[in-house]
Structure 1
Amino acid sequence: MRSPISAVTIVKNRTEKLIHLIAQLEQCSPTPDELVIVWMAPPSGLSLIKSDKFDIVHKFTTQGELPIAKARNKGMQAAKHANLAYLNVDAVVSPSLFKDGLLALKDNAVIFTSVVFLPGERCEKPYSDISKCEQQIGYLASNDDTLPKEDNNEIPSKDQEINHGKFSDDSVCSTVFFIRKADFQKTGGFDEGYAGFGLNDEDFFTNCRALGYSLEQLPTRTFAPQRPNYQCPVNHLLDFVHNAQRFHAKWGFYPCTEVLTAYAEKGFIDSNYEENGLKVLQLPEQEDDPTKSVPSASTAASSSTEFEFTSFHSPAKNQERLSSTA
């Protein structure tokens, strides 16, 4: 049975994660009506993969590689349903995800799941097996009351204010979230002016709040591979500073201040950046990839270059669709 919702994901090189995600969605009850896959790199042998349980729409460009924000926007805009679910390609989702999401979804709202970060190899198991194991040892969820008080620097901090912290809850909310397509269109989508690493999620959900949308968490849990320690992501210094400058210009405050504080402690930026302005004072050592440059205005502009997309649809199915009043 299908539900009246479009699922959207983006993929570049992690095709094994995509295969795992499709297999999970096929086990959902109900399934989505369609899965829109945006390929961030040129087509591969999996660019025509199909499913017997739902339609799959492939969107890709043959012109270079696609930035994350543009890929997300293309997928959300290409979806045919009024109800959208965005999923990270490496997410391990509950079989009841779409039932739960549709029941909670409403206008002017973003609905997201809590996220439990686990070692990557444990995320290769079926959801039911992971869930049973985690119930035995205790959850380490990103945004629920089971989060330990002491941060371990590998999971997001719950104790934050308005997108501040080495991880923000907003960067976790984007793992799996539901939104009406009309509401997504009102946001203007993910800001394609952010380049490289960091802060696009924080910007999107800050925009949602500015529009008066409510952000509401489902009791449904999603599992995801543990992220690296981003308390001080040195290799992404220039991207992060550029994006923090853009964020501040839009919203009037700096996001993820613990990251910026860590940069300041290492001498990469001025510790008094709030008053003196945020700028790079020195680059990391050679092993920390000093060859990267701060994205210029032309670099940011290039991210809005038009890409030619091609769509492929799997054959239409005549399966029963689940009605919803959500």
Structure 2
Amino acid sequence: MLSVLTMVRNREAHLIQLVEGLRRSLRKPDELIVVDMSDTPIDAPAAGFPIRIARMETEGLPLAAARNHAAAMARGEQLLFLDVDCIAMRDCLGRLSETLDRHDALLCADVRYLGPDDARGDWEETALLAAGAAHPVRSFPASGVREERQAGLFWSLAFAIRRARFEALGGFDAAFTGYGGEDTDFGYRARETGLPLLFVGGAIACHQYHDSYDPPVQHLDDIVANARRFHARWHEWPMGGWLDQFTRMGLVDWEAGAPVVRRQPTAAERAASLSTWPASAIRVDDPLGAT
């Protein structure tokens, strides 16, 4: 049984397209679990498979806790975590499910990044695949799997894992609150148990465009707090490129070798950090500065 899990916060239009991708999949999900953190409760889109929605009242964006909540609700032996702004192509679910049957591993899907005008209504898969930009660092095979030795390249945007493994790892560490670091910590803990990280060829998901910031100044406090938590455990600084940018902007100081928030970004700095395609779609500052 394959459970697809997603979280949504005020992005119902993205959720509708995610569900449409699942409806077109050759291998349908046995269920979709939605953790809804929106200001106004969402309605379940029409689909040919069960959709269960769980409300999670929150002021922030507790990604780790939300993913754990979705996993606790799931009934499947296979868990596929799919961010709400992703659209699975028709072979994606089948490739990931078949790979989990053969490999006890942490699987990453091949994410392609769409432009501002893509998937804004009716869409055809061939058009999305033609428009989607591949990630510049994460290299996927055309088919089969490739083992990735750099645990810092695990990316929670679209990944699959056996339920038993997820539970044995204790899920995501909910002490990572808000944005940043929780997925890298998960990837590192998976590596410590000997769980391979596999990049699965042909398991393609297309990421829907939305405005974002480079660096993500709106998540300044979360990134600094989560970076410090990560360093305390692993003795490495994640999200190094962002921390460097915050430092150059005067938002962060380093005291006793650790980052401290000096001030909040101004309105002008927020506006200047608003990214444009393709930079806003593709996160090239990987958690451990791999780029």
Q: Which category describes the TM-score, using the shorter chain as reference length?
A: 0.7 to 0.9
Q: Is the CA contact (8 Å cut-off) linking 1:92 and 1:224 kept in structure 2?
A: yes
Where in structure 1 are there 5+ consecutive unaligned residues? 147-159, 164-168, 290-326
Shift of 1:50: 4.4
Asked whether the 8 Å contact 1:232–1:259 carries over to 2, the reply is yes
13, 37, 42: which one aligns with 1:40: 37
Radius of gyration: which is bigger?
A: 1
1:86-105 equivalent positions in 2, closer than 5 A: 86-105=81-100
What is the identity, as a one-letter code, of the residue corresponding to 2:78?
N
1:12/1:145 CA distance change after superposition, 3 Å: closer
Identity of aligned residues (%): 27
Q: Is the 8 A contact 2:251 2:264 kept in 1?
A: yes
Q: Report deviation, 1:66.
A: 6.7
**Pairwise CA distance, 1:229:** 6.6
What amino acid is the match of 1:10? M
Per chain length, whose mean CA-contact separation is higher, i.e. which structure has more relative contact order (CA < 8 Å, sep 6+)? 1
1:214 alignment counterpart: 196
SS at match of 1:31: coil
C-alpha deviation, 1:226, in angstroms: 4.7
User: Aligned letter for 1:197?
Assistant: Y
Q: Does 1:246 align with 2:246?
A: no
The residue that corresponds to 2:69 in the other structure is: 74
In structure 2, distance between residues paired with 1:119 and 1:93: 16
Equivalent-residue separation in structure 1 for 2:58 and 2:264 (angstroms): 33
Distance of aligned partners of 1:89 and 1:107 in 2 relative to their CA distance in 1, 3 Å threshold: same
Residues 126 and 203 of structure 1, relative CA distance in 2, 3 Å threshold: farther
After the TM superposition, list the runs of 4 or more consecutive aligned residues in structure 1 that deviate by more than 6 angstroms: 63-66
CA RMSD of aligned residues (A): 2.7
Contact 1:238 1:280 in 2 (8 A): no
What's the TM-score, normalizing by structure 2?
0.78
Of 217, 236, 256, the residue aligned with 2:219 is 236
The structure 2 residue matched to 1:5, chosen from 2, 8, 12, is 2
Cα contact 2:7–2:35 (8 A) shared by 1: yes
Partner of 1:278: 258
Stretches of structure 2 that go unaligned for 5 or more consecutive residues are: 142-148, 271-291
SS of alignment partner, residue 84 of structure 2 = coil
The aligned residue for residue 110 of structure 2 is: 114
Q: 1:42 to 1:122 in 2, by over 3 A?
A: closer
Q: Are the counterparts in 2 of residues 110 and 214 from structure 1 also a CA contact under 8 Å? A: yes
CA distance in 2, matches of 1:32, 1:206: 28
- Could you say which residue in structure 1 is the equivalent of 2:287? none
Q: Displacement of 1:65 after TM fit? A: 6.8
Q: TM-score, normalised by structure 1?
A: 0.70
CA-CA distance at 1:63 after TM superposition: 7.2
What is the aligned length? Answer: 257
Equivalent residue, structure 2, for 1:22: 19
Distance 1:123 1:202, change over 3 A: farther
Give secondary structure in 2 for the equivalent of 1:253: coil
